[in-house]
Amino acid sequence: MICQNCNKNEANMHMKRIINGRAAEVHLCSDCARSLGYGEAFSGFGLGLGELFGELLSKGEGSANTGLHCHGCGKTFDEIVSDGKMGCAECYGVFYDKLLPSLRRIHGKATHVGTKPVKNESISYDSQIAELKQKLAVAVEEQNFELAAQIRDEINEISQKGGNA
């Protein structure tokens, strides 16, 4: 796509602006974008991941060094803030109080809740046995002893697999 400003160079900046509810796309080459003042619009997006976490961790935190360091790797909180990386797993415990606000800001909560397992459609052994015992009682009451013997055998099979009879 050609730059919409100079109509010469290849456009490598594509912006979508919404003004009064209407979207307008602008396609500019890097020279025109810089001359029109759009070069500075994206200067904040060049942050590396370490810088981003450093910004989040240091936001609202005083940089007063308390002398606290991790016993596992020796890193200080200021070093974690500057490079955005934990030194080891023990850092989470050592710097928990300082990390807590940032973890809440990043993740929304500070405890891992994991994911819920997919609901298993199979009936548990105990509920199968309970259902079969009801059927067994009905079969005995109706004096259908052949069916009762089959149900009894099913109950015994399930009990051997791990259910409670």
- 157 pLDDT above the threshold of 60: yes
User: Tens digit of pLDDT for each residue in 24-61?
Assistant: 788 888 888 777 766 555 444 444 455 555 555 555 44
Report pLDDT for 129: 87
Rg, C-alpha atoms of the chain: 33
Worst-scoring range by mean pLDDT, 32-36, 129-133, 135-139, 154-158?
A: 32-36
- 69 pLDDT above the threshold of 50: yes
Q: Spell out the residues 6+ positions from residue 3 whose beta carbon is closer than 8 angstroms to its own.
A: 9, 10, 11, 27, 28, 29, 32
Domain ranges of the chain: 13-46, 49-107, 125-161
Report pLDDT for 14: 77
Report pLDDT for 148: 94
30 with 10: CB under 8 angstroms? no
Report pLDDT for 160: 83
Q: What phi, psi does 66 have (nearest 5°)?
A: -90, 0
What pTM value is reported for the model?
0.32
Strands (E), 4-57: 13-19, 22-28
